[in-house]
Structure 1
Amino acid sequence: MSRSRIAIAVAGVGAAMVALTACGGTESNVTEDGLTTVTVGNMNSNSLTFPLLVAQEEGFFADAGLHVETVDAVSGPELTAALIGGTTQIAVGTPENVMPAMAQGQGLVAIPPFGQLDMSLITLQDSGINEVADLVGKQVGVVQRGSFSEKFARSIMVDHGLDPDSVTYIAVGAGATMEPALRNGKVDASVGATSTVALLDQHGLAIRNLANSLDETGGEAGEFGMQTMWTTTVDYREQNPEIAEGFCSAMNRASDWIADDANRGAGVQLMSTLLAVPQETAETIWDRTHLSWKYRIDDEKWNRVADWVLEDNETGLPYADYVSADCGEKQ
């Protein structure tokens, strides 16, 4: 990401902070059951935050002595802004929003679990586009310009020996607005998460998958890509180590629970409820994503993602300074 794009990203976070911090911050307190309350920024009805729902429903937070209150946001910048402003104490985050804020000295630290990049480059089966090379001269829908979805599409083009600027990238938003753009031919292809692709299929669109970050067609981005992390501030982690440890421990238990095939039935039901989709659609999403969350990432993966996001930032984000690798470490 160019310095100008970093500035824009952080400016977006700053603008969101004005609105969110007006609500005031919240301090941890103890419930009648003796649980310590922690306020967590969440993206409602989004499979990327699935471990949070599992940790709630399976009682993992309660086991860790925590009562989690969620504050829902509709975008990554809102989530990061609320965390920086003190409206929340922990939040889900995306590298494209969190890392520029880190680079600007906002005092954030990444904690587990870390979600693998979940993106597919898709087209309609009757579009006449049968492989990535057929995209040259076409229009590709992305969530927004400069977003991870565009970076993924560009990466796939490069992996296939093509000029990433040989296609036109069109901002079409997420699933609700992406569908009509694809259905009505406003774009020739699009980039979406597994949950988005499953919903398109549910709505009767016959989809051809050109590249997917979760299988061997995702190229370099599929190898190192990371879509989500959980975040807190350095100050909060230092001042509330037991709360941070408890949160990480509960979320790591949730990740293990999701990865266990024995929990598929219960997990599909939770996924169906979270996304408000039929069980059959939830099964598709579960089968493709339930191994997506990792307890730990190494410095190589972190550095490659940071380089991808920040591009010409020369200082980078040293792993030891920005990743709380031992948070909730399993004994």
Structure 2
Amino acid sequence: MTRRILAAVTGLVLALTVAACGSDDDAAGDTRTVKVGYIAGPAPGMHLLLAKERGYFTEQGLEVETIPFQTGISLSNALTGGSIDVGVMGAVIANFPARGQGKVFLLNNLEANIQQIWAAPGSGISSIADLRGKRVATTTGTAAHLLLHVALAENGMTTKDVDLVNLDMPAVANTFVTGGVPAAALWAPFDNQIKEKLPEATMIGTAEQFQPKSAIAGGWVANNRFHAEHRDTLVQLTRAWLKANDDIVNDQPAALAAGCPSLAEFMTAEVCAQIYQQARSYPNSEWSTLYADGTVAGWIGQMEQVFVDIGALPTFVEPTQFLDTSIFTDATA
């Protein structure tokens, strides 16, 4: 009798243990962890950071681990290497994915006035046309270089018609304000350094002036394996993005007040808000149209073509080969 009771108790304990383990697995299965790398700036990062801050990813059953990066190159390398699942970046969405390194599935905004071209006082430069033969500092292969290329082309020139000085972006701004070059193509917030240290300088061009040819968009890229195996998770990420985008469009000051503190390590909330206000956001309904009518693919193709023209890409690849618009469509269904 004692043995039978002991066996029964032992069996019950084992059953409860197995059930408990099964419950833990099920609970863990309810939440998927996604590693998302992002460029630590307001234009590329705001939707991600706001959705995390306001719990929109949690509502979708996702735990999103955010990892900041300083350059699109390092972020793209991490994405390709598999240390992150998704990357949120700027214009390089039209570069590395075109090489077969990831799938674009979501855009954030247009960086309308974030990319800028400046002329120093006393340089004799008052317009883009005046850049011919002048030294122009920028970081080659970046969105600022993209703007410079388009602006020159619109004025009948190429980068061969200027003396291009390739520096990292902090050095671009510093060299310009200290008189090392008469012109510079850069992005915010480096314009603040110019306004503070060289207030007589003139901004002679922004990306918005040359749109649609200079449409500079940033967005979300999944590594190839994650895109193939976890498409449903990308749809969930996009649903969270849609809620964040609604917030940004409907009450931008409140949205930035909630999202900008996540970038406190890199800039003040005031600078963060100032930069994002130079981007162009669209309502979700308008985004649906932009995906459906091919505008999004067109923007990416324009950026890609510039990368080809400046030698940052070997050949042009149709954006439809690395852009998956169906994820946005499914998220809005």
Task: Give TM class, smaller chain.
Answer: 0.7 to 0.9
**Aligned partner of residue 332 in structure 2, secondary structure:** coil
Deviates more, 1:314-323 or 1:149-158: 314-323
Give the equivalent residue in structure 2 for 1:197. 191
Distance 1:196 1:122, change over 3 A: same
- Conserved in 2, the CA contact under 8 Å of 1:259 and 1:290? no
Shift of 1:69: 0.7
Partner residue of 2:35 out of 27, 35, 39? 39
1:51 Cα deviation from its structure 2 partner: 1.5
- The DSSP-based 3-state class of the residue aligned with 1:327 is helix
Moved more, 204-213 or 194-203: 194-203
Would you say 1:171 and 2:173 are equivalent positions? no
Structure showing greater Rg: 2
State the distance in 1 between where 2:193 and 2:58 align. 33
Q: CA deviation at 1:154?
A: 2.3
Aligned-pair identity in percent equals 17
1: CA distance between counterparts of 2:27 and 2:43?
29
Give the drift of 1:187. 1.4
Contact 1:268 1:282 in 2 (8 A): no
**Deviation at residue 120 of structure 1 after TM alignment:** 1.0
Per-residue deviation, residues 5-32 of structure 1 (Å, max 9, x unmatched): xxxxxxxxxxxxxxxxxxxxxxxx9987
Match of 2:153 among 154, 158, 165: 158
Change (3 A) 1:314 1:167: closer
How far apart, CA to CA, are the structure 2 residues paired with 1:316 and 1:293?
Answer: 30
CA distance in 2, matches of 1:61, 1:227: 23
1:204-243 paired onto structure 2 within 5 Å: 205-214=199-208, 217-222=209-214, 225-243=215-233
Which ranges in structure 1 are unaligned for 5 or more consecutive residues?
Answer: 1-28
How many Å separate the matches in 1 of 2:185 and 2:282? 18
Separation of aligned partners in 1, 2:107 and 2:80: 20
The whole-number CA distance in structure 2 between the counterparts of 1:197 and 1:273 is 22
Q: What is residue 6 of structure 1 aligned with on the other side?
A: none
> Secondary structure at 2:306's aligned position in 1?
helix
Q: What residue is the counterpart of 1:16 in the other structure? A: none
TM score, norm. by length of structure 2: 0.75
Q: CA deviation at 1:133?
A: 2.1
SS state of the match for residue 49, structure 2?
Answer: helix
User: Relative to total residues, which structure has the larger helix share, 1 or 2?
Assistant: 2
TM normalised by structure 1 equals 0.76
Change (3 A) 1:63 1:180: same
Out of 108, 120, 127, which is 1:131 matched to? 127
5+ long unaligned stretches in structure 2: 1-24
CA RMSD of aligned residues (A): 3.2
